[in-house]
Amino acid sequence: MSILKDLEPKLLWKYFDEIRKIPHPSGKEEKIAEYVVSVAEKLGLDYDKDSVDNVLIRKAATPGHEKAPTVVLQGHLDMVCEKNSDKTFDFDKDPIELVIDGEWLKADGTTLGADNGIGVAAALAILEDDNLVHGPIEALFTVDEERGLVGAMSLSPDWLQGRTLINMDSEDLGVFSIGCAGGADSHIHLPVNYQAPRGDTAVEVHLSGLRGGHSGIDIHEGRGNAVKILNRLLYQLQKTLPFELACLEGGDKHNAIPREAMARIVVKKDQVKTVEDWMAKAIKDIRIEFNPVEKNIQIAVKKADGNLPQVLDPDSQNRLLALIFALPHGPLAMSRDIKGLVETSNNVASVKCDKDKIKLHLSSRSSNMSALKATRDKLVAIAEMAQAKVEQPEGYPGWMPDLDSEILKISSKTYKEVTGKEAKYEAIHAGLECGLIGEKFPGMDMISLGPTLKHPHSPDERVHVESVDVFFKHVLKILEKLA
Ligand SMILES: [Zn+2]
């Protein structure tokens, strides 16, 4: 065996060593699913594999503990495949090359796949070891987590008997995840009419230099939304200097805060200087307002080349500017349980001009499904005031933190017994598999924990070797307690 041979716990590292040899990028999990099934067959355990390659393996309780509640141990089979540009590596064929770096295990120039190879290996080690004390176990291995929780989404609602679940995909030893946000998009289509401009000079206004970021993870920081800020400036400018709006565009992905936005307006030639001066003054106030979070907000006003564009008629222009001004962006509510956690938020993700309509894409998140629905309803109410139409495709569910959760109490108590330290818990304002699992299997009491990982999803991914040992001992202790 490799450089892992002296590491503890031996069984877990034995399985991790097998997993790293089997290519398992997201969407290509057939081989790793077959391997997991082969382990079940070798151990003489009952298993199921569904049409997308999710695998469920059942292990009976230790004799005398048959009446204990069934515990679901869960991890995902796929890994993110990233490598350094100078590294020659084929994720569809090559085994991950391991490197021990002080207290850490990493790969040579690629992602390691400790996310979630360690969780999968831990479950397999528990399935093999007959010297443990536990109740009935269901080991659930899901596919395609990293590209959008696809495997968890496909789970059949009658698959699991257990109603206690330990997800082993967290990245900080001693910090349990106990909640996540659900999310749902809204598409607003604002019907508009265009007409020939009365002004004679087209001007472009570019807003740039904002930080952007992830609309879940970064939403609490108060970063600026380029679409919202530029729209607000136009709304305010219109009160002092009536202009004609030809188009307003900005933003890109639904889960990113817009970093840049651009507007094309038409004015009279002698008004260009006024627009420049007004914007220069207004942007100073914006910089003060967003200081110190945004340090590089820039605005550029310049005459546009080419033919004069068609412009929105006054009614269309008013409805557009008022609509975007009224749409909420940023955190809308904080968690009542967990200090500092954003419960509900909305991202005005993009605006694009089309022939006869303006298209807006919005992304709402909440760990509280009732609040998520209310937020989406509010978007409809605002859009309808502007005579816009809204499409709302189905979203994905969140996981509302439950501080009275039994598995949280047991996990905290046993963590203290194993390490002598107090555990912490957190919830995140983004999606996790537990959100989907909790919705599919009502009454599921869940926790997510794991060893310490740094820089997952990048070639710098590394796992703290000793934390794996502590994490595993902790999981065994939880199982023993529940038995
Ligand atoms: Zn993961």
Measure 191 CA to ligand 1 centroid, in angstroms.
42
Does 294 lie in the same domain as 434? no
Does 187 lie in the same domain as 173? no
| Residue 99 neighbours by CB distance under 10 Å | 13
Does 350 lie in the same domain as 237? yes
Confidence at residue 214, expressed as pLDDT on a 0 to 100 scale: 87
Confidence at residue 436, expressed as pLDDT on a 0 to 100 scale: 95
Question: Average pLDDT for consecutive 10-residue bins of the chain (483 residues)?
Answer: 88 98 97 98 98 98 98 97 93 97 97 97 98 98 93 96 98 96 96 98 97 90 97 97 97 91 97 97 98 96 94 98 98 92 96 96 95 98 98 93 96 98 94 94 97 93 98 98 98
Does 161 lie in the same domain as 51? yes
Tokens of 76: 């995902």
Confidence at residue 252, expressed as pLDDT on a 0 to 100 scale: 87
State the total domains in the chain. 2
Confidence at residue 425, expressed as pLDDT on a 0 to 100 scale: 95
Residue 1 in any domain: the answer is no
Confidence at residue 157, expressed as pLDDT on a 0 to 100 scale: 96
Measure 169 CA to ligand 1 centroid, in angstroms.
5
Measure 80 CA to ligand 1 centroid, in angstroms.
9
Confidence at residue 254, expressed as pLDDT on a 0 to 100 scale: 86
Whether the link from the prior residue into 451 is cis, omega within 30° of 0, is no
Does 104 lie in the same domain as 19? yes
Catalytic positions, please?
Answer: 78, 145
Count of alpha carbons within 13 angstroms of residue 340, beta-carbon side: 7
Does 187 lie in the same domain as 171? no
Residue 77 in any domain: the answer is yes
Residue given tokens 């419960």 in the structure block? 343
pTM of the model: 0.83
Which among 342, 360, 391 is the end of a domain? 391
d(CA 121, CA 169): 12
Measure 146 CA to ligand 1 centroid, in angstroms.
6
Residue 3 in any domain: the answer is no
Which among 373, 391, 409 is the end of a domain? 391
Which among 391, 411, 439 is the end of a domain? 391
Does 144 lie in the same domain as 216? no
Confidence at residue 85, expressed as pLDDT on a 0 to 100 scale: 86
Residue 5 in any domain: the answer is no
Residue 465 in any domain: the answer is yes
Does 168 lie in the same domain as 119? yes
Does 116 lie in the same domain as 224? no
Q: Which domain holds residue 43?
A: 10-180+399-482
Measure 144 CA to ligand 1 centroid, in angstroms.
10
Residue 2 in any domain: the answer is no
Confidence at residue 1, expressed as pLDDT on a 0 to 100 scale: 53
Measure 231 CA to ligand 1 centroid, in angstroms.
38
